[in-house]
């Protein structure tokens, strides 16, 4: 009697797969199920978030650019030193006379020169002197040439190292630039997706929000209690009211947050580092209860956003892309710390 083999039951994984496949058809979106377009308020919140996310890489970009400029100056200096060393070597070769002439002019290498060009020129010179192969003046010239050649090799190595660091900084700056521009491009696309009516509603909502926060970018004159350098810095910042925020900019037509703070204090003869983080690290910290006009306010954290305290619970700052330099309440954003230049 033959055995009747029962069909193998499907595995649980197979059942789950079939179930998903069966349900997938009913889950496919139809025209009527398409996700609704975001409202003006939703777009505004997304755009604000993108602008806020762009601030940190902007400050990183500023720091890298500052490092890049320093490295560029070092590379330029190294190249100048290389040129001078090469000129000195060329002059020494001319002074060596017949010994060098056979190598550098006729191409016929004298045995003495061949020894000199070995891996240990000092050893050659010691032996040559012992054998009387060189005169005192010739020996001195050869020793000087050997020393300059070593210096030249060291300068070349240093220049190559600096050039490599410069290229790495350039690449890193380009990445940060792409990161910022990517977020700003996404924000622009969101704004462009709005109808004229939605845009008007969004701008009205932004206006109401600015009014609630006490923000204003209208031209004004400072009449607070600051004096000396702090007053000079604040007066400069006031003169920038209404100018646009532009990431990576230090003026005079536009600024980012740390660009404005640095330019204001520079007008008072105080040189500050370039980025929010560097300013925070370098400044003398003061408690919020001890704030004085001219102090630097840091919002969110120690590396994202800053401005200048002007008294009466207010600060002047360059807010973000799409907005102008303005006066706002310190409490409008999460206060993190303050420092005094």
- Let me know if 305 is a catalytic residue: yes
Distances (CA, A) of 97 to 91, 148, 316, 325, 328: 11, 17, 71, 70, 76
C-alpha–C-alpha distance, residues 177 and 183, integer Å:
10
Q: Which of 65, 148, 162, 317 is catalytic?
A: 317
Question: Are the CB atoms for 277 and 56 separated by under 8 Å?
Answer: no
DSSP secondary structure of 42-59 = HHHHHHHHHHHHHHHHHH
Q: Which of 274, 277, 305, 314 is catalytic?
A: 305
- Let me know if 54 is a catalytic residue: no
Asked whether the bond before 252 is cis by omega within 30 degrees of 0, the reply is yes
C-alpha–C-alpha distance, residues 50 and 180, integer Å:
9
Q: Are strands 296-299 and 284-285 parallel, antiparallel or unpaired?
A: unpaired
C-alpha–C-alpha distance, residues 292 and 338, integer Å:
10
Question: Are the CB atoms for 296 and 307 separated by under 8 Å?
Answer: yes
C-alpha–C-alpha distance, residues 338 and 332, integer Å:
15
Q: Which residue has the tokens 């209208």?
A: 218
Task: Identify the three-state secondary structure at position 250.
Answer: strand
Q: Which of 78, 257, 261, 315 is catalytic?
A: 257
- Let me know if 203 is a catalytic residue: no
CA 288, chain centre distance (Å): 29
| CA dihedral sign of residues 179, 180, 183, 189 | negative
Helices 40-96 and 196-213 cross at an angle (nearest 10°) of 80
253 burial level (CB within 10 Å; 0-12, 13-18, 19+) = exposed
**Residues annotated catalytic, as ranges:** 257, 305, 317
């Amino acid at each position: 009697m033959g055995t009747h083999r029962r069909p193998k039951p499907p595995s649980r994984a197979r059942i789950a797969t079939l179930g998903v496949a069966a349900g997938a058809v009913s889950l496919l979106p139809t025209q009527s199920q398409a996700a609704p377009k975001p409202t003006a308020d939703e777009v505004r919140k997304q755009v604000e978030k993108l602008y806020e996310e762009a601030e940190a890489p902007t400050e990183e970009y500023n720091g890298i650019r500052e490092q890049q400029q320093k490295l560029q100056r070092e590379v330029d200096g190294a190249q100048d030193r290389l040129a001078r060393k090469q000129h000195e070597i060329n002059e020494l070769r001319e002074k060596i006379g017949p010994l060098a002439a056979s190598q550098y002019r006729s191409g016929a290498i004298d045995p003495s020169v061949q020894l000199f060009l070995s891996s240990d020129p000092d050893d050659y010179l010691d032996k040559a002197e012992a054998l009387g192969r060189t005169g005192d003046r010739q020996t001195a010239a050869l020793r000087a040439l050997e020393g300059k050649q070593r210096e030249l090799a060291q300068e070349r190595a240093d220049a190559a190292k600096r050039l490599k660091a410069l290229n790495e900084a350039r690449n890193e700056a380009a990445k940060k630039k792409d990161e910022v521009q990517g977020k700003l491009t996404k924000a622009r696309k969101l704004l462009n997706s709005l109808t004229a009516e939605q845009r008007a509603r969004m701008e009205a909502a932004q206006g109401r929000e600015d009014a609630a926060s006490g923000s204003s970018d209208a031209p004004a004159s400072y009449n607070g209690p600051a004096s000396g350098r702090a007053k000079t810095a604040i007066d400069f910042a006031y003169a920038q009211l209404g100018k646009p925020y532009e990431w990576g900019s230090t003026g005079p037509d536009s600024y980012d947050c740390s660009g404005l703070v640095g330019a204001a204090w520079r007008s008072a003869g105080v040189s500050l580092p370039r980025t929010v983080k560097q300013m925070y690290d370098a400044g003398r910290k003061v408690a919020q209860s001890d704030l004085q006009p001219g102090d630097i306010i840091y919002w969110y954290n120690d590396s994202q956003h800053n401005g200048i305290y002007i008294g009466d619970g207010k600060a002047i700052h360059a807010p973000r892309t799409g907005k102008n330099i303005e006066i706002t309440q310190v409490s409008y954003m999460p206060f993190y710390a303050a420092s005094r230049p």
